């Protein structure tokens, strides 16, 4: 019995050490190395492009998004809003900004993926060179659109912008820790991968695609994380997404507790489902196609959300210590301790380089409370996981 327990704990420790090393390498690469910038692209003329915005009841926020985009296009007609199953005046607000608007009504096929598919199909008669997917609730920094178009045109691959979340005006420590986790996921880790010219995951907004690639993609889906799934599908098909840190887009964390919980539940349940289904698929395709980039993508997606990492690590370390007390080997304890050190160094170095100005050091003391807040979310994944797309309610000020 002790021997079986010893083997089981050793397997758990080795498995958990792998994503810990992956996280450390990604963060260290972003902190200490720097990708060479393609400055020569700034002088290249822009290819034709269309910005596609799926919008479901976004009257409270879409005006701000359109205002930030209109300064970066030559004509409002370069923006297409798909008002998807709206019951508010989203379409009217978009038309007021003189952008192109399509209204879609299909109560049985709900979700962002269906809206994107509807919009792409509408472009087939007169397709642009580049299509950019943009959410209706974000602020696009100056120069972001041009950077995305030029990168997609140059590389002929999907391009992911830097997408960060701003803290609410009255941010709680939990909001600040959430912003830190988002920064590590959406900036630090993709920047580390970009140093080695490795692909990144798509993060939902600020995604640019050459027309020849996106027209063949499967978009119509109610997948909880349709953006990640799209990126993985394209990577397997030979079009791995690349990260463009120069194109910056910001959103705002939901201030309402229910909205914040709903958003995290949808994303993390979807992410975990995708990890379980797609990680083996990526490894299999990497071996069949003899492609290291797919292995790197599988390793990247194996890094679970940071709070879940902490919970699983604590559970594994506790079991290993109990096993050691009962007579098992000390090796699992040592390996998990190494994994914990790797995790701590990765997160602290990422915070020191990228988040120190916005996230005070004392806020890191709130990490245990943030992890406790997430426990019901992960428990729900085991007994009643979310399987349908649900829109996050917007804060209306």
| Per-residue pLDDT tens over the stretch 123-138 | 999 999 999 999 999 9
CA–CA separation, 48 and 71 (whole Å) = 16
CATH architecture, domain 39-173+196-259: Alpha-Beta Complex (3.90)
Q: Is 366 helix (H, G, I), strand (E, B) or coil?
A: helix
Whole-number pLDDT of residue 258: 54
CA–CA separation, 50 and 364 (whole Å) = 41
Q: Count CA atoms closer than 13 A to 267's CA, side-chain side.
A: 16
CA–CA separation, 46 and 123 (whole Å) = 19
Residues 6+ apart with CB under 8 A from 144: 72, 161, 206, 246, 247, 248, 249
CA–CA separation, 41 and 45 (whole Å) = 9
Indicate the burial class of 166 (C-beta count within 10 angstroms; 0-12, 13-18, 19 or more). Answer: middle
Contacts 24+ apart (CB under 8 A), 99-105: 99/66, 99/70, 100/76
Look up tokens 């170095």; give the residue. 349
Angle at 272 between CA 338 and CA 374, to 5 degrees: 75
Contacts 24+ apart (CB under 8 A), 357-360: 358/167, 358/179, 359/176, 359/179, 359/180, 359/183, 360/176
pLDDT grade for 44, boundaries at 50, 70 and 90:
confident
pLDDT grade for 200, boundaries at 50, 70 and 90:
very high
pLDDT tens digits, one per residue of 75-124: 999 999 999 999 999 999 999 999 999 999 998 888 889 999 999 999 99
pLDDT at 147 over 80: yes
Q: Is the pTM of this model over 0.85?
A: yes
pLDDT at 171 over 90: no
* Closest by Cα among 116, 161, 157, 115 to 139: 161
Determine the angle formed by the axes of helices 331-350 and 306-326, rounding to 10 degrees: 160
């Amino acid at each position: 019995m002790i021997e079986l327990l010893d083997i089981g704990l050793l397997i758990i420790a080795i498995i958990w050490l792998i994503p810990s090393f992956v996280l450390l390498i990604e963060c260290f690469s972003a902190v200490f190395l720097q990708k060479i910038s393609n400055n020569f692209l700034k002088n290249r003329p822009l290819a034709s492009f269309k910005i596609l915005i799926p919008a479901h009841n976004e009257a409270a926020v879409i005006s701000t998004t359109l205002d930030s985009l209109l300064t970066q296009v030559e004509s409002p007609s370069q923006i297409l809003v798909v008002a998807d199953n709206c019951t508010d005046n989203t379409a009217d607000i978009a038309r007021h900004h003189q952008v192109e608007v399509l209204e879609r009504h299909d109560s049985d096929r709900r979700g962002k993926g269906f809206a994107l598919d509807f919009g792409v199909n509408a472009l087939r008669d007169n397709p642009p060179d580049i299509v950019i997917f943009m959410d209706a609730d974000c602020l696009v920094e100056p120069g972001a659109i041009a950077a995305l178009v030029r990168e997609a045109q140059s590389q002929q691959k999907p391009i992911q912008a830097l997408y960060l979340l701003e803290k609410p005006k009255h941010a709680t420590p939990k909001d600040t820790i959430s912003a830190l986790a988002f920064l590590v996921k959406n900036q630090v880790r993709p920047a580390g991968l970009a140093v080695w010219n490795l692909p990144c995951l798509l993060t939902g907004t600020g995604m640019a695609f050459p027309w020849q690639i996106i027209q063949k993609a499967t978009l119509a889906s109610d997948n909880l994380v349709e953006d990640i799934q799209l990126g993985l599908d394209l990577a397997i098909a030979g079009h791995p997404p690349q990260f463009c840190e120069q194109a910056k887009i910001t959103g705002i964390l939901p201030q309402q507790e229910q909205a914040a919980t709903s958003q995290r539940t949808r994303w993390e349940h979807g992410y975990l489902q995708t990890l379980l289904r797609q990680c083996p698929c990526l490894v299999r395709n990497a071996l069949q196609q003899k492609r290291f980039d797919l292995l790197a993508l599988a390793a990247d997606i194996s890094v679970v959300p940071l709070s879940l990492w902490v919970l699983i690590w604590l559970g594994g370390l506790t079991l290993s210590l109990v096993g050691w007390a009962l007579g098992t080997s000390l090796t699992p304890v040592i390996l998990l301790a190494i994994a914990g050190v790797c995790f701590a160094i990765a997160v602290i170095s990422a915070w020191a380089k990228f988040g120190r100005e916005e996230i005070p050091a004392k806020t890191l003391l709130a990490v245990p409370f943030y992890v406790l807040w997430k426990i019901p979310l992960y428990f729900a994944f085991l007994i009643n996981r979310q399987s349908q797309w649900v829109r996050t309610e917007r804060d209306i000020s």
